[in-house]
Amino acid sequence: MKYGPLFGICDKHPTPETLIENIKQFEAQGAHGVVIDLDGLEEQYFTRECFRKILAACCRVESYVCCYRSAKTEHISDETRAEYLLMAAEEGASIVDVMGDLFAKTEGELAFDEKAVEKQKNFISTLREKGASVLMSSHVAKPCSMEETLKYFHAHYERGVNISKAVFHCNTQEEYLISREISEKLCAELPIPFVFVCSGEYGRKFQRYETLLNGSLMTFVRCRDGEVQPSVRQALDFMRSRTPWASAAKRLDSGEFVNRTAVITGAGSGMGLLAAKMFAGQGANVLLVDINKDAINEAVEEIRKNGGKALGMVADVRSYADAEKAAACALDNFKRIDFLLCFAGGYEPRCCNSNYPFYEQPIEVIDWGLDVNLKGPVYFARACMPAMVKQKYGVIICLGSVSGVQASGYGPMYGTSKSGLFQFVKGLALAGAPHNVRAVCVAPGPVLTRPGMAGMPTPLKRAAEVVEVVDFIMDLCSDRSSFITGSTHFIDGGYLCNFGR
């Protein structure tokens, strides 16, 4: 069975007719599956004949059937609920949702009552014998610690299901960060696919990014106020353009950067790493450059496994010889260099583990701050730009920072270099303009490449998600931004608006 990533939710339908209409709308919009929530149906429609009719409407989409407890079906016993689900499995449902507290209603929707668990296990194997995949769900609907959260997924797995789903709330960025760590653990530990939904005040904003960010098997789309089509279309456009790995072949067909080549420094981690995946996801050939060999190898392998074209090169941006080698490698293998993205960089006291005031900083740390952050982009631009000038096309992106405006007494080379880049892109813009080569500096505020960045206060009361910055860089590289050159763009959640106050 193949699961698509996008499932439209068909709920609150009192009759099979309106439900089927909703299924067809989602199908027409290109959803990969539909969630058929039976608990909206009037009681007279809980018949095999109606289920057959509804499931027959899902000939081109996967069907995920659930029958949660709602005001309408609260009076139905869990045994009857199970009979309905079994009927759906017999009528061809692809996925059947078994609540984690089926047969023993429990807060947090996960029962540990021994008899109920035994009954669940038998029921799950019966459903599987009928050919359905079984998903166990718990709508916990509150924030939980890592330990508690993992307990849900592991308990589902131990009961013999194919897929585990749990819905939690994240109301703050801190809680959302924990959810990221949890999803990493789930990806590494859980032997079955999972759906990890972080709702709540903070999590809801990023729900559409889930497949991209946390390894969830599927993403859900709701129809709001009867407006089904725009939401599906938007979500699909979003998935097609931003999801870097699922169904790579499809994406490469519609990829904005097919036949383009990106040279990306600092591609072993953080924003550079996500940019490599996202540019490859859009069809670009990518050359990943970093000093961290293992990180590069791992990233290249993942991109290739997902159908992207990637090469890795261990290089130090402080060396002009390395910059020339990287440019030559891109040209030898991909024949062009369309984008140069200079991510390699960092605050020297942190990167060199040397937290002293400037007057006590070892000179090597000071050199590191200037050489990696300023000379790195200068060297790579010098090495890559001739190819861009020759092909009459190119975009150079330098990563500045709000630290180019702010100062630090411990790592002043960082801010000096970043403000140097504000100026550098202007020179590049003038040199490149006659040849259709643009240069732009993107200057972020705090970005969640490290949890520590969440502590830097912004008026938006959060740090940027990595994808938000990379997304913006993709826009700047696209032809939609063809009149933007020589400028520095702050992406800082309003951080600098308050600066100095």
Ligand X SMILES: NC(=O)c1ccc[n+]([C@@H]2O[C@H](COP(=O)([O-])OP(=O)(O)OC[C@H]3O[C@@H](n4cnc5c(N)ncnc54)[C@H](O)[C@@H]3O)[C@@H](O)[C@H]2O)c1
Q: Does 200 bind ligand X (CB under 6 A)?
A: no
Q: Does 291 bind ligand X (CB under 6 A)?
A: yes
Among residues 172, 247, 292, 487, the one that binds ligand X under rule CB under 6 A: 292
Could you tell me which of 441, 393, 434 has the C-alpha nearest to residue 261? 393
Which residue has tokens 């990379």?
Answer: 470
Which residue has tokens 């749990």?
Answer: 166
Segment near ligand X (CB under 6 A); pick from 12-20, 124-132, 168-176, 266-274: 266-274
Among residues 88, 271, 395, 441, the one that binds ligand X under rule CB under 6 A: 271
Instruction: Indicate the burial class of 501 (C-beta count within 10 angstroms; 0-12, 13-18, 19 or more).
Output: exposed
Among residues 45, 64, 84, 343, the one that binds ligand X under rule CB under 6 A: 343
- Closer Cβ to ligand X, 261 or 401, answer by number: 401
Say which residues have a Cβ less than 8 Å from residue 363's Cβ, sequence separation at least 6.
none
Q: Does 421 bind ligand X (CB under 6 A)?
A: no
Among residues 401, 419, 485, 488, the one that binds ligand X under rule CB under 6 A: 401
Segment near ligand X (CB under 6 A); pick from 13-21, 134-142, 304-312, 337-345: 337-345
Order of strands, sheet of 285-290, starting from the edge strand that comes earlier in the sequence:
309-314, 285-290, 261-265, 339-342, 394-399, 437-444, 488-491
- Closer Cβ to ligand X, 30 or 376, answer by number: 376
Q: Where are the alpha helices (DSSP H) in 169-209?
A: 173-189, 200-203
Q: Which residues pair with 490 in a beta bridge?
A: 443
- Closer Cβ to ligand X, 38 or 330, answer by number: 330
Among residues 166, 310, 344, 381, the one that binds ligand X under rule CB under 6 A: 344
| Binding track, positions 439-468, relative to ligand X; x by CB under 6 A | -----x-xx-x---x---------------
Q: Which two tokens stand for residue 122?
A: 């038998």
- Closer Cβ to ligand X, 117 or 263, answer by number: 263
Q: Does 411 bind ligand X (CB under 6 A)?
A: no
- Closer Cβ to ligand X, 161 or 274, answer by number: 274
Count of residues near ligand X by CB under 6 A:
26
Which residue has tokens 């309408």?
Answer: 72
Q: Which two tokens stand for residue 118?
A: 């035994």
Tell me, letter by letter, the H, E, C secondary structure of 221-267. EECECCEHHHHHHHHHHHHHHHCCCCCHHHHHHHCCCCCCEEEEECC
- Closer Cβ to ligand X, 123 or 379, answer by number: 379
Q: What is the DSSP letter of 464?
A: B
- Closer Cβ to ligand X, 7 or 176, answer by number: 176
Output the DSSP codes for 366-398: HHHHHIIIIIHHHHHHHHHHHHHHHHT-EEEEE
* Residues 120/122/125/131 CA torsion (nearest 10 deg): -80
In contact, 408 and 367? CB cutoff 8 Å? no
Tell me, letter by letter, the H, E, C secondary structure of 76-137. CCHHHHHHHHHHHHHCCCCEEEEECCCCCCCCCCCCCCHHHHHHHHHHHHHHHHCCCEEEEE
Measured from the CB of residue 456, what is the shortest distance to ligand X in angstroms?
8
Measured from the CB of residue 272, what is the shortest distance to ligand X in angstroms?
6
- Closer Cβ to ligand X, 88 or 275, answer by number: 275
Collapsing DSSP to helix, strand or coil, 49 comes out as: helix
Segment near ligand X (CB under 6 A); pick from 203-211, 217-225, 236-244, 315-323: 315-323
Q: Does 369 bind ligand X (CB under 6 A)?
A: no
Q: Does 192 bind ligand X (CB under 6 A)?
A: no
- Closer Cβ to ligand X, 33 or 270, answer by number: 270
Measured from the CB of residue 479, what is the shortest distance to ligand X in angstroms?
24
Among residues 290, 348, 465, 471, the one that binds ligand X under rule CB under 6 A: 290
Amino acid at 209: Y
Among residues 143, 268, 281, 312, the one that binds ligand X under rule CB under 6 A: 268
- The residues of the shown chain that bind ligand X, judged by CB under 6 A, are 265-266, 268-272, 290-292, 295, 316-318, 343-346, 372, 399, 401, 444, 446-447, 449, 453
